[in-house]
Structures are given as structure tokens and as C-alpha cells.
Amino acid sequence: RELASKIAHFARFPQTGVSLRQMVEFGQNPSQGTLLRGAQFLHDELPIRLAHRVVELDSLPENLNQMPSVLRVKRMYIDSFNELINFPKASERIREAVKEATVQGTRDRHLPGNQPNPAFQESPRNSSSHWIPSIQHRYHYEVKPTELPVEVSEYNRSFVQTLEKIKRRHDPVVTALAQGVVEYKQRMKTRKIDNHVQHFLDRFYLSRIGIRMLIGQQIELNQHQQQKHRQQNDYVGVICTHTRVKEVVQEAIDNARFICGDYYMLMNVPEIELHCPRELEFMYVPSHLHHMVFELLKNSLRAVVELCGDEAEHYPTIKVVVAEGNEDITIKVSDEGGGIPRSAMEQVWTYMYTTAQTPMLDPEFDKSDFKAPLAGFGYGLPLSRLYARYFGGDLKLISMEGYGTDAYLHLSRLSDNEEPLA
């Protein structure tokens, strides 16, 4: 029906990637006018990205795309798509005021939407509808802090409310799809996930990271703009322009050791040694960095404790080395936890790799007295790799079976990598 054709229309157009640097340049000292440009970009871009996901969900294998959990996820994407395309465009008056205040700076060429968004150049065949923006949008980010009509900030506030609602709606997506995969395995009576589904999930979760990053930035920038007191700090939205690597990694170490000791009820927790240039800083999202390192450390801790037993007096120390290159900052996590058999290496990256049971996905299960495994639930590593890749990095594992595992987390410091959008 009409909705289906709208989705098909938007899904035909390419998604526009944004680099970390663009996000930062855009979000530095945003005025209400800048925020409006951001809202316009998202108002154009998000429906395209959401439409791509709906089409992909539809094209999953027959027995997967009809599963209740998958249909539930699709419904979320459709609802959000609808909300966005039904959200009113900024009025003529608002757009004129912001256009008036826009400086066409040299930095304009860095802008995400600076190439006109192709989805809006070509009208659909039966274009009676008011929701198709007909002009070429440009998303200048340098907007003079002149007096703008109050409608601008009202529009921004209302758009952010819509974004917040969408973000919340999609919170359960990873769990819902994970449940779908469990049901799929049961139905297919297999423990292996086929390559096609694996790639779909990689693309899907990567896209989700990107969408949530863009939404999160817009929400944070708006909130930050309202409380003008914190002018000179390192944060642009959720990005920290001077992420202190040593500090974040040490925090991940402390948290992982605490969780590990608690989980296994250890008298002494394996030591983790950190070698990191003291002053090393780069532009990154600290929460992503913490998430990835924390995940690697939990895996190493688990391997070491399970190899030596939970009553060992001494565990081999886990070593974290941070290297500063021109292109990359690389974080190596080395454990002597016995390694991974070569035949199991591929499994580590699949969304069904799990050594533990997955009772938390069983709706009948009483969550209150279930202890989630420390690591190896199956999503931590593949998702961490996607977080790394999202900003142009990567995550690799090298194992020596019978000895231990080295994890290499590469983070690009060029910050010019556009979001990977399959």
C-alpha cells in the first residue's frame, strides 16, 4: 500500500555517512540555527536509513522474517519512519530566518549533506504528497548567532522530543533480534547461523549504532545549548575531543575486575597491567571506548579464571598495551587464559556463539535469580567490533591454543572516516 511504496522510495536512495570530525565541527557551539540545520539533516537522513532496514528485514529468509520478534522490530522501524515523514517541515518563516543567518563558510564542503540529498531531487511518480521536500537541502553548520524567531527553538525542541521517543522505542531491538535468532536456531535444529543471517545482523547492528549516534548527538547538542554554562569543556555531544585514553582504559580495568571478583566470588582477582602513554588523548566517544575495552577484559578475565580455577592463589597477569601511531591508536589485551582452538575462531564473531545457556531470552525465566555469564554470551565481541568499525577502526583476535589470546583493538585517529553504511 501507500506506506510500502513510501518505504520503497526512501530505500532506493543512498544513506549519507558522517565522519567523527564532521560531527564535531557541526556541533561546536551550536546556535538554535545550527541545531535547526541538524534537525533538517536528520529529518531527511533518518527516514532513508530506517527504510533501508525495513527492506532488509523483509528480505530475510522466509522463516526468519515472519517471526514475532522480527515483526516486532520491523514495526518499530516503520513507526519511527512514519513519525519522521509526518513530522512537519520547518515553516517558510523559520527556514528564511535561518538561511538569512547562515554563513557560507569554507568549511561548508565538510558538511554531511552538502551534496544535495538525492532522495529529494527526484519526486515519486504520484507526488501529490506534501511530505516530499522538493528543494535541495544544504546543511550549513555555521549559523550566525543573530536573533532568530522563537519558532526556531520551538521547532528544535519539538523535533528533539520526537527523536527521544524514537530512541527509546528502539532500545529493545538487540534483545528482540537475539530472541529471534534463538527461535530460528530451535526451528532449524541447528547451532550454526548461516552466513547470510550473520551478515545481515552485522549490517543491521552497525546501522543501529550509526542512527543512535546521530540521534544522540542531536539530543545532547540541544540539551547542552539550553544550559549555556558549560562553555569550555571537551565535549561535543557525546564526543570528547580530548579523550584521555589512559583514564578510560583504567576505568574499564577497575570495572571489569570488580565485576569478575563479584561474579566468581574470588578472594583475589587477576591483576591487569596497563602500559599507556600518560598524556595520550584523541577525539573519540569515551563510552564506546570504555564499552569495547571492558568487553575484551571480561573475556580475558573469564578465560584466566576458568583456566586456573576460582580458588587459585595466583593468576597470570593480563597485560594491556596502548600504542600511539600516526593513523591508529591500538590497544592490545593479552591474556594467558589458554587461548581459543583455531576451529572455534570464526564462532567467536557469530551472533550465536555462546558457551553458556541463554535463559535470559526465555520469557518464562525468572531473571531475578539468574546470573548472566561474565562473558561469552555471544554479542559482546561482535558488537564491540562494530563499534570499532563504526569510526574506522577494527578488532582482531590472535590466539595461541594452549597458551592465551591477544586482542587488538585498532582505533583510527584520523577521524575523517565516514560512517560505514552497507
Which residues form the catalytic set? 291, 295, 298-299
Residue (8 or 323) nearer to ligand W6P, CB: 323
* Residue 179, C-alpha cell as written in the block: 530472541
What DSSP string describes 282-318? EEE-HHHHHHHHHHHHHHHHHHHHHHH-TT-S--PPE
Q: How far is the CB of 66 from ligand W6P (least distance, A)?
A: 34
Q: Cell 571537551 belongs to which residue?
A: 234
Residue (76 or 292) nearer to ligand W6P, CB: 292
Q: How far is the CB of 386 from ligand W6P (least distance, A)?
A: 15
Q: Cell 515472519 belongs to which residue?
A: 66
Q: How far is the CB of 258 from ligand W6P (least distance, A)?
A: 18
Residue (147 or 346) nearer to ligand W6P, CB: 346
Nearest partner of 143 among 169, 104, 183, 173, judged by Cα: 104
Query: Do residues 395 and 408 lie in contact, with contact meaning Cβ atoms separated by under 8 Å?
Result: yes
Q: Are strands 318-324 and 272-275 parallel, antiparallel or unpaired?
A: parallel
Residue with the closest Cβ to ligand W6P? 303
Say how far apart CA 218 and CA 257 lie, in whole Å: 34
Q: Are strands 239-244 and 394-400 parallel, antiparallel or unpaired?
A: unpaired
> How far, in Å, are 41, 90, 233, 273 from residue 136 at the CA level?
11, 14, 35, 54
R_g of the chain, CA atoms, integer Å: 23
Q: How far is the CB of 404 from ligand W6P (least distance, A)?
A: 7
Say how far apart CA 390 and CA 298 lie, in whole Å: 22
Query: Do residues 304 and 315 lie in contact, with contact meaning Cβ atoms separated by under 8 Å?
Result: yes
Q: How far is the CB of 359 from ligand W6P (least distance, A)?
A: 22
Bridge partners of 334?
319, 406
Residue (19 or 334) nearer to ligand W6P, CB: 334
Apex CA 189: angle with CA 186 and CA 194, to 5°? 90
**Which spans of this chain sit near ligand W6P (rule: CB under 6 A)?**
296, 299-300, 303, 335, 337, 339-340, 381, 397, 405, 407
Residue (310 or 327) nearer to ligand W6P, CB: 310
Q: How far is the CB of 102 from ligand W6P (least distance, A)?
A: 48
Residue (280 or 345) nearer to ligand W6P, CB: 345
